[in-house]
Structure 1
Amino acid sequence: MIDTEATPRELKPTRLAAIDIGTNSIRCIVVEVDQQGHFRVLDDEKAMVRLGEGLTNTGFISEPARDRAIDALQRMTKISLGLGAEIAAVVATSAVRKALNRNQFLRSVKTATGLEIDVIPGTEEAELASLSVHHNFAMEQQRYGMADIGGGSVEIVIATGRHTETIISLELGAVFLTEKFLHSDPLEPAELKQLRKYIRKKLKKAGIGEGLPVSCLIGSGGTMTNIGSMVMAMRGEQYESVHRYEVLHSEIIHLLSMLCRKRHKERLQIPGLNPQRADIILAGMILTDELMRRCRTNQLRINGQGIREGLILQAMQKRGLISASEQPRDWRNSILEFASSCRFDKLHSLQVNQLAQKILPAVIPEHHRNQRHAELLEAAALLHDIGYFISYDRHHKHSYHLIRHANLFGFTPREREIIANLARYHRKGKPKKNHDNFAALAPEDQKLVREIGGILRLADGLDRRRNGQVTDIICQRQGHTVALTLLGQGDLSVESYGAQSKGDLFEAAFGVKLSVTTRETA
């Protein structure tokens, strides 16, 4: 007989839900946490309830807004419980904080849904946003700003690495500012001028922009994600999401100038703009513009997660699922974790990267490359074969899709797309303009994929037997020839053949002829 008591039981993954009740929208995120303290999102529900509608003028949450909120919260509760999740946190922010009928609203929600709402101060909102930033961005040894723009308030943090210098909450939300200042359609210049003057006064009084400039502003909330989407559309780019997308201040100014001239119904047609935000986007964008001016930065980085993810991370800390003093994340470890989850051949991937990194400086001069080129090549080398996880056939295409949809820490959507394309072309056909994935890249990125992809493809051929037979290489460019000497013990004919057969993209990208010789080492 089998002793069932002695059979170890598989630990059931922990599922947690968090609900963020904002002035403009309510968000509910449901995640599953593994034993290593990593989580994956099972559901991310959003409802634009406009809880703060009219609050600026009346001081009260209206009955229609309350009813919309209760309807959304009932739905979110059912989704969370249906997925077997513990509702770990339900927080309300600016609108509920300042509403004169706050207690009545809280009682109504408790009666209708059973949810106990924690009304948190703005500084705690900022701390939650900070948790999300540290989880998603590598910001060590940088001075940077964070801004989470909600409907009723903006939470601002200035930090250096993990040391927080300033943390503040200001009543400068997109809904609040719109209701207070913007009433005409199209907008009157006097209204815009008055709005800017008000924002500048509040930011200056709060000390925002004092001290040294920041390297970038990391923004979360609906205003920020919509800015990212509009700029992406303006550039003609099509990435999987705006999370970690990078936007220039000049692009925001250009968009803002165009939007200010349009009527509301015309703004509804702007590519990338959520029509439900067409009436409040201008206030949020002007605030973003002024924040970047005060902080003297030209770069906005989009955090597509924000407070709701911060709630999940906080709940995990409280339950001992992750350390409260979590070490800074590293892009390389993140790549290796993802590759391991796809059961990659680690020794082969490390060997391909080692050989590829030897070739890179020999064919791309120092003044034409930077450290990021080497990191993109390394990420692609480690991930190029993960498509085996699906099947051997067409595994290069499977690798492309797995990478494209992955959340690669430390890489922007553009860089993730480049890495996916590098993996796509490590075997079989070379990049062609009629390939949708390649055609979508900017011309300079197409050149990068050809060149770095050619190096990766060649390096993969150099480990044809997947046994690390080549212990070192000597790579020298001599005019229109690249001489490659393979060093190793024993017969290297298979590796030489692999280089010759997979050197086609390399030769085409660099306009050279590949010459391969072997040398046996003692």
Structure 2
Amino acid sequence: MTTPNILASVDLGSNSFRLQICEVHPNSQLKVIDSFKEMVRFAGGLDEQKNLDEASQKRALECLARFGERLKGFQPEQVRAVATNTFRVAKNITDFVPRAEAALGFPIEIIAGREEARLIYTGVVHTLPPKGDKMLVIDIGGGSTEFVIGSELQPALTESLPLGCVTYSMRFFSNKISQKDFQAAITAARNEIQRIGKMMKRSGWDIAIGTSGSAKAIRDVLAAENPQTHDITYEGMKKIADKIIQAGSVKKARFSGMKSDRIEVFAGGLSVMMAAFEELGIEKMTVTDAALRDGVFYDLIGRQINEDMRDQTTKEFQQRYHASPNQGKRVAAAAQKFMESICHALNAPVQELSYWQQYINWAGMLHEIGIDIAHTGYHKHSAYILEHADMPGFSRKEQHTLSLLVLGHRGDIRKMVDLVDDQMMWFAILSLRLATLFCRARMPLELPPYTQLRSDNGNGFILRISQNWLNEHPLINGALGYESEQWQKVDIPFSVQPQ
């Protein structure tokens, strides 16, 4: 078993998979004690239908198994594995992820593009303090490119576009490279960047910073060609492109500053970077070694010291959609009490209860955000927002879980039958439904002593509650009768047992 101050991040990119292990020192300083990188070329396994072929899956699973061997002895709270663009776009990824998690030994979070951008920026801002300068950060990955602008700990703008060194190399540079190929790649990338260009230029920046493999490879080649060069410039990139075109391939150009594992994907990354310089009017770019994995570490540290980005996002969503924080707190607190009661009765593991209590809290705080769209069927609007919105700190799987909880918290329970396949999810949905039922008056409400939610020998649920209290709250008493009818529809008996 490893010590608690040892953390690990797993970055499953479209080009390479990385495992980094760090020791956390006082003041959240990180010391790298081990790192592994494998060029899996995951995006290279996508066919025209966006399905991953068997060869790419095999390479990925073998790599993850090796990572898993190194991570033996780590606790779940010490490891965070994030997956990026290829995991987002692959049509058959749902079948692959369980195999990947089994090989690694830890859950894998598929993060949205803007969440990837936020984590990249988090890594940059913690390792390269801006000193008040507004930064434009560009990270060219294997399948996507992230653009971020910010000067504080949290970014002001985050964008992710489907431009990658692997995908562009495969699309435009699979044969002998010509001037026409380079121009086609740059034009295609500029067309994508144009979508965000006006907004980015309106915001403005003081310095441009490149991160990750493509930016570092371009910098290294430029430095090898001209030792006085420390930054990336358009003129420098143009000379590199001309040399590649003249030679006909990156390999034949024989760049002394290029690592062998970058040769196959260098032209794609170079064309995307040139397009970014052209479209955004960038004059020069500094390169930092900070990357997504660093942001994952600092985000993980924040969760351990109760500075969880997910809590901040929850508060921001309440404000954005004008949801009552007080009502959210009431519902969340009541739902957590019901969930705790039933889990204790079933002797559920403490870790599992803690896991679901977290989701119940977020769901309770956010269950009414859809009211800002329409009161009728607001739970459906809330669920849609939670499923599809950019929510910094949350993975797609976490958003899906929240969406299901909120969708099920009111209305006909039959809609959840084909969506829920986990017993604990049913417990959480019932807890949230009861909480909203008891808190419907939107006023402080104390549940009577000895109120308990219990399992009826695995055949359903029993709510034990004071008969006198029910007599004093006839509306809630009537609503509990309706709730009992709802659970009968899905063959999960729910009854009230007055005390």
| 8 Å Cα contact 2:114-2:159 kept in structure 1 | yes
Residue 321 of structure 1 and its aligned partner are, at CA, apart by 8.3
Q: Which of 234, 245, 248 lines up with 2:233 in the alignment?
A: 248
Distance 1:134 1:124 in 2: 15
Q: Could you tell me which residue of structure 1 aligns to residue 189 of structure 2? A: 199
Q: Secondary structure at the residue paired with 2:264?
A: coil
The superposition leaves residues 311-354 of structure 1 with CA deviations (integer Å, 9 ceiling, x where unpaired) of: 01100010018897xxxxxxxxxxxxxxxxxxxxxxxxxxxxxx
Distance 2:73 2:256 in 1: 35
Q: Could you tell me which residue of structure 2 aligns to residue 112 of structure 1? A: 103
Alignment of 1:244-393 (within 5 A): 246-264=231-249, 266-267=251-252, 269-320=254-305
Distance 1:293 1:214 in 2: 16
Deviates more, 1:78-87 or 1:155-164: 78-87
Aligned pair in 2 of structure 1 residues 276, 204: CA closer, same or farther (>3 Å)?
Answer: same
Q: Could you tell me which residue of structure 2 aligns to residue 59 of structure 1? A: 50
Distance 1:262 1:190 in 2: 14
Q: Tell me which amino acid in the other structure corresponds to 1:194.
A: A
Q: Tell me which amino acid in the other structure corresponds to 2:123.
A: S
The superposition leaves residues 467-511 of structure 1 with CA deviations (integer Å, 9 ceiling, x where unpaired) of: xxxxxxxxxxxxxxxxxxxxxxxxxxxxxxxxxxxxxxxxxxxxx
Q: Tell me which amino acid in the other structure corresponds to 2:226.
A: R
Q: Tell me which amino acid in the other structure corresponds to 1:164.
A: P
Aligned pair in 2 of structure 1 residues 109, 211: CA closer, same or farther (>3 Å)?
Answer: same
Q: Which of 126, 131, 142 lines up with 1:151 in the alignment?
A: 142
Alignment of 1:108-257 (within 5 A): 108-162=99-153, 164-185=155-176, 187-207=177-197, 209-211=200-202, 213-236=204-227, 246-257=231-242
Aligned pair in 2 of structure 1 residues 282, 297: CA closer, same or farther (>3 Å)?
Answer: same
Aligned pair in 2 of structure 1 residues 213, 56: CA closer, same or farther (>3 Å)?
Answer: farther
| 8 Å Cα contact 1:177-1:195 kept in structure 2 | yes
| 8 Å Cα contact 1:24-1:52 kept in structure 2 | yes
Residue 213 of structure 1 and its aligned partner are, at CA, apart by 5.0
Q: Tell me which amino acid in the other structure corresponds to 2:61.
A: I
Q: Could you tell me which residue of structure 2 aligns to residue 36 of structure 1? A: 27
Aligned pair in 2 of structure 1 residues 321, 264: CA closer, same or farther (>3 Å)?
Answer: farther
Structure that is richer in helix per residue = 2
Distance 1:148 1:258 in 2: 24
Q: Tell me which amino acid in the other structure corresponds to 1:131.
A: T
- Unpaired runs of at least 5, structure 1: 1-10, 239-244, 325-522
Q: Secondary structure at the residue paired with 1:259?
A: helix
| 8 Å Cα contact 1:15-1:84 kept in structure 2 | no
| 8 Å Cα contact 1:29-1:45 kept in structure 2 | yes
TM-score normalised to structure 1 length: 0.55
Distance 1:211 1:12 in 2: 47
| 8 Å Cα contact 2:23-2:33 kept in structure 1 | yes
Residue 39 of structure 1 and its aligned partner are, at CA, apart by 1.6
Aligned pair in 2 of structure 1 residues 164, 38: CA closer, same or farther (>3 Å)?
Answer: closer
| 8 Å Cα contact 1:157-1:166 kept in structure 2 | yes
Aligned length in residues: 308
Q: Secondary structure at the residue paired with 1:49?
A: coil
Aligned pair in 2 of structure 1 residues 165, 39: CA closer, same or farther (>3 Å)?
Answer: closer
Distance 1:217 1:56 in 2: 34
Distance 2:162 2:249 in 1: 24
Aligned pair in 2 of structure 1 residues 207, 35: CA closer, same or farther (>3 Å)?
Answer: same
The superposition leaves residues 427-449 of structure 1 with CA deviations (integer Å, 9 ceiling, x where unpaired) of: xxxxxxxxxxxxxxxxxxxxxxx
Distance 1:41 1:321 in 2: 23
Distance 1:84 1:72 in 2: 20
Q: Could you tell me which residue of structure 1 aligns to residue 416 of structure 2? A: none
Q: Tell me which amino acid in the other structure corresponds to 1:296.
A: G
Residue 265 of structure 1 and its aligned partner are, at CA, apart by 6.5
Q: Could you tell me which residue of structure 1 aligns to residue 11 of structure 2? A: 20
Aligned pair in 2 of structure 1 residues 98, 173: CA closer, same or farther (>3 Å)?
Answer: same
Q: Could you tell me which residue of structure 2 aligns to residue 516 of structure 1? A: none
Residue 291 of structure 1 and its aligned partner are, at CA, apart by 1.3
Q: Could you tell me which residue of structure 1 aligns to residue 393 of structure 2? A: none
Distance 1:197 1:50 in 2: 24
Q: Could you tell me which residue of structure 2 aligns to residue 99 of structure 1? A: 90
Aligned pair in 2 of structure 1 residues 217, 110: CA closer, same or farther (>3 Å)?
Answer: same
Q: Tell me which amino acid in the other structure corresponds to 2:256.
A: P
Q: Secondary structure at the residue paired with 1:270?
A: coil
Distance 1:115 1:162 in 2: 28
Q: Secondary structure at the residue paired with 1:147?
A: strand
Residue 147 of structure 1 and its aligned partner are, at CA, apart by 1.0
Aligned pair in 2 of structure 1 residues 321, 302: CA closer, same or farther (>3 Å)?
Answer: farther
Residue 159 of structure 1 and its aligned partner are, at CA, apart by 2.5
| 8 Å Cα contact 1:23-1:151 kept in structure 2 | yes
Q: Secondary structure at the residue paired with 2:202?
A: coil
- Unpaired runs of at least 5, structure 2: 310-499
Q: Report sequence identity in percent.
A: 23
1:46 aligns with 2:28: no
Q: Tell me which amino acid in the other structure corresponds to 1:273.
A: M
Deviates more, 1:188-197 or 1:90-99: 188-197
RMSD value, Cα: 2.7
Distance 1:146 1:56 in 2: 30
Q: Could you tell me which residue of structure 2 aligns to residue 89 of structure 1? A: 80
Residue 87 of structure 1 and its aligned partner are, at CA, apart by 4.4
Aligned pair in 2 of structure 1 residues 104, 31: CA closer, same or farther (>3 Å)?
Answer: same
Q: Tell me which amino acid in the other structure corresponds to 2:57.
A: R
Aligned pair in 2 of structure 1 residues 314, 264: CA closer, same or farther (>3 Å)?
Answer: same
Distance 1:112 1:83 in 2: 15
Residue 303 of structure 1 and its aligned partner are, at CA, apart by 1.9
Residue 82 of structure 1 and its aligned partner are, at CA, apart by 6.5
| 8 Å Cα contact 2:84-2:112 kept in structure 1 | yes
Q: Secondary structure at the residue paired with 1:217?
A: strand
Q: Secondary structure at the residue paired with 2:125?
A: helix
Distance 2:73 2:184 in 1: 48
Aligned pair in 2 of structure 1 residues 164, 37: CA closer, same or farther (>3 Å)?
Answer: closer
Distance 1:56 1:62 in 2: 7
Distance 2:223 2:183 in 1: 28
Distance 2:251 2:169 in 1: 18
| 8 Å Cα contact 2:233-2:285 kept in structure 1 | yes
The superposition leaves residues 389-441 of structure 1 with CA deviations (integer Å, 9 ceiling, x where unpaired) of: xxxxxxxxxxxxxxxxxxxxxxxxxxxxxxxxxxxxxxxxxxxxxxxxxxxxx
Q: Could you tell me which residue of structure 2 aligns to residue 72 of structure 1? A: 63
| 8 Å Cα contact 2:40-2:56 kept in structure 1 | yes
